[in-house]
Amino acid sequence: MSSLGLGIDCGGTYTDAVVYDLDDRRVLAAAKYPTSHHDLVSCIDGVMAKLPGDLLSAVQLASVSTTLATNSIVEGKGGRACLILIGYADDMRVNGYGSRVARARGGHDCRGDQADELDEAAVTEAVRQHRDWADAFAISSYFSVRNPEHELRAASIVAAETGKPIVCGHELSMHLDAPKRATTAAINARLIPLIADLIASAQTVLAARSIKAPLMIVRGDGTLMGVETAGQRPVETILSGPAASVVGALALTGRADGVVIDVGGTTTDIAGVEGGLPRINQAGATVGGLATQVEAIDIRTMGLGGDSLIRFARNGKLEIGPRRVLPIGMLPGAEGVTETLQALPSSGLLGRAHELMSFWTVPPGKKLSGTPEGNGWVQRAGQVPLSYLGLKDEAADPDALKAVHRLEQGEELLLAALTPTDIFNYTGETAVGDSELSRCAVETAAALLKIEPAELAAMVKADCREIIVHELLAHLLGVNGGSRGLLDAWSRGDSVQGVRLRLNLETDILAVGAPAGVFLLPVAERLGCGCITPPFMEVANAVGAVAGVVSHTEEVIIRRRIDGRYTAHASDGRYDFDELADATDLARSKASELAAAIASATGAGEVELHEHMDEFTATSHWDQPVVLERTVRVRAVGRPRLG
């Protein structure tokens, strides 16, 4: 009997789940459930209810990808944290992400030598001052990645004073940049109470369905971690969902390279693949404008999806996205909507067509909660969608349209308008909701624009294709902002000073997401590459959540000192040697030992070790060649331990 895994992806629009055969690498069952924000647990419960019970009871591994960290950071949410900075210059600016910041003398220099004595009394005082208020403590010491001693000593002081969770900067990142490391530690500390809630609730839901499998969470690099690790390092779940989507695309297609494009309702994500793994953003993930040191997937997100609003500019051009609306084809009460659309005047209104075709309805699961006036509108919209012209002619209330706009901003009402989904429904490439309603909307819009419906459909499809092609090339080529001259010229089919570009993508597009095929096949054709649309691509994120591996990379850097000796800097301390060979032996065994131990603690079963060494040798006219630096990197990788 094969081992079964349960993968769950809590996305912005839908929560997806699959039961996946971990040995044969195939999907046995899949389900989708609408995501209700702020209640991830009911989503997990809801989606599991749609999966066959006999499969669920045989599950030996459960894994979740979550937007919890990303969304919390964007919204500035989290528990209360105290951030202790050791050896940071007084005028050094640190974004503490809303935590209370205390400073103490101490820290090291770039060689890992002590720069200043650790002021233990100051650390003790900070803990005593904040321990009743704070949910967690973050500690970051200057150059702790070269010598973690002061962070470890401060952590033991905090532990002696309080039982609250403690996170040290050097545990989260091996990279230099003290301000960024402090921010990352502070975010992590504030996320600890939130992830603890999520884990506890998810375990309750699993237990209620008699699933005793170990629970894992997807990291932003696409690997998995057990809940013990996730509880300590929640910041590493940044970009968990997009990373799972890449891992899922690889699992579903059986490929080890390509470009993964995930087309959703609101956004489209592009991510490269390297050696069977998502490509990582080495500079660290930036979320909600906050730069962190979290090693997460290198992703480009654009505001284009099946539910993007299509606007008509006065010059006859289209603007698609980034706003997300409800496709007209998804509106309830088709009869009234069709009537309103057909009654629209058909001339002299170019530039306002998208407004004329606006409707408002009630978001799914919406309960009355606003003012009596607002509730009145919500109740009306619940019976039959409100239309733009209807509101404009509302005799009793000249400000009706304004009132409805306000309710829309407060997410009390949902705007419905023409979207790419309606266009694809019209062409027959998809059948989402009511295709006849979409057809009516496309015909009305075309009449307003004085063009044929087929022509409008072709324009929208061409625009969607060009937007994705542009973003894809810009991402792969590392082109940003204004320097897209040649790409633009290529896109228009122009030449620049007699130079004409011919572009080909030599790697295939791996499609993810329900509408991915209709969006991406034209993109592939334009770029002369293949586009793989595997079965179950609409739940690739959930597949990626369970198909991932557990991995840990440990790096030991050996540096020559000015006195000619060598120092090995490992994450658990530093070691001095007279000879490079001895330092190298220590570095290799240390890196292997730490990588294997941490991967195992993170939830791996048996691990394989992959060692990689780099060095820099200096040569000159008057010195003998000498090795100045040698880096030993060991990656321990294994499948998750099953229950």
Partner 1 sequence: MSSNLASLLADLEEERTLAIVKESLAAGTDPLTLVEGLREGMSLVGERFESKEYFLSDLIMSAEIFNEAIALIQPHLKSDGASTRSAVVLGTVKGDIHDIGKNIVGSLLRCEGYDVYDLGVDVEPSAFVDKVRETGAALVAMSGLLTLAFDAMKETVESFIEAGLRDKVKVIIGGGPVNQAVVDYTGADDYGKDATSALKLAGHYLN
Q: Which residues bind partner 1 (CB under 8 A)?
A: 89, 91-93, 109-111, 115, 142-143, 176-180, 559-560, 562, 616, 618-621, 623, 626, 628-629
Of 447, 450, 503, residue with least CA distance to 472: 503
What residues contact residue 382 under an 8 Å CB cut-off, 6+ apart?
A: 361, 362, 366
- Nearest approach in angstroms of CB 112 to partner 1 is 11
Of 323, 287, 247, residue with least CA distance to 68: 287
- Nearest approach in angstroms of CB 105 to partner 1 is 15
Which residue type, as a one-letter code, is found at position 20? Y
Cβ proximity to partner 1, 115 vs 216, nearer residue: 115
- Nearest approach in angstroms of CB 115 to partner 1 is 8
Query: Measured between alpha carbons, how far is 463 from 485 in angstroms, rounded to an integer?
Result: 18
Query: Measured between alpha carbons, how far is 213 from 423 in angstroms, rounded to an integer?
Result: 44
- Nearest approach in angstroms of CB 297 to partner 1 is 22
- Nearest approach in angstroms of CB 178 to partner 1 is 5
CB atoms within 10 A of CB 255: 17
- Nearest approach in angstroms of CB 628 to partner 1 is 5
Query: DSSP label at 67?
Result: S
- Nearest approach in angstroms of CB 91 to partner 1 is 7
Cβ proximity to partner 1, 343 vs 626, nearer residue: 626
Characterize 566-603 residue by residue with b for buried, 16 or more Cβ atoms within 10 angstroms of its Cβ, and e for exposed. bbbbbbeebbebeebeebbebbbebbbbbbbebbbebb
Cβ proximity to partner 1, 477 vs 628, nearer residue: 628
Cβ proximity to partner 1, 109 vs 408, nearer residue: 109
Cβ proximity to partner 1, 111 vs 255, nearer residue: 111
Of 336, 342, 339, 341, residue with least CA distance to 361: 336
Which residue type, as a one-letter code, is found at position 607? V
Cβ proximity to partner 1, 75 vs 623, nearer residue: 623
Cβ proximity to partner 1, 335 vs 623, nearer residue: 623
Query: Measured between alpha carbons, how far is 75 from 5 in angstroms, rounded to an integer?
Result: 32
Cβ proximity to partner 1, 60 vs 173, nearer residue: 173
Of 180, 181, 163, residue with least CA distance to 172: 181
Query: Measured between alpha carbons, how far is 643 from 148 in angstroms, rounded to an integer?
Result: 35
Cβ proximity to partner 1, 519 vs 577, nearer residue: 577
- Nearest approach in angstroms of CB 80 to partner 1 is 25
DSSP 350-418: TT-HHHHT-EEEPPTT----S-HHHHHHHHHHHHS-EEHHHHHT-TT-TTHHHHHHHHHHTTSSEEEE-
- Nearest approach in angstroms of CB 85 to partner 1 is 12
> Which tokens belong to 569?
């800097």
What region, left, alpha or beta, does residue 134 occupy, with left being phi > 0 and alpha being psi -120 to 50 degrees? Answer: beta
- Nearest approach in angstroms of CB 170 to partner 1 is 12
Question: Three-state secondary structure along 510-564?
Answer: EEECCCHHHHHHHHHHHHCCCEECCCCHHHHHHHHHHHCCEEEEEEEEEEECCCC
Of 226, 222, 287, 285, residue with least CA distance to 74: 287
- Nearest approach in angstroms of CB 176 to partner 1 is 4
Cβ proximity to partner 1, 395 vs 562, nearer residue: 562
Instruction: Give the chain's end-to-end CA distance (angstroms, integer).
Output: 14
Examine residue 322 and say whether the peptide bond preceding it is cis (omega within 30 degrees of 0).
Answer: yes
Cβ proximity to partner 1, 187 vs 192, nearer residue: 187
Query: Measured between alpha carbons, how far is 546 from 560 in angstroms, rounded to an integer?
Result: 43
- Nearest approach in angstroms of CB 281 to partner 1 is 16
Cβ proximity to partner 1, 153 vs 175, nearer residue: 175
- Nearest approach in angstroms of CB 110 to partner 1 is 4
Cβ proximity to partner 1, 113 vs 579, nearer residue: 113
SS3 call for 287: strand
- Nearest approach in angstroms of CB 121 to partner 1 is 25
Strands of 90-151, DSSP E: 100-104, 136-141
Instruction: Name the burial class of residue 158, with classes exposed (0-12), middle (13-18) and buried (19+) by CB atoms within 10 angstroms of its CB.
Output: buried
Cβ proximity to partner 1, 283 vs 609, nearer residue: 283
Yes or no: say if 33 and 43 are a contact pair by the CB < 8 Å rule.
Answer: yes
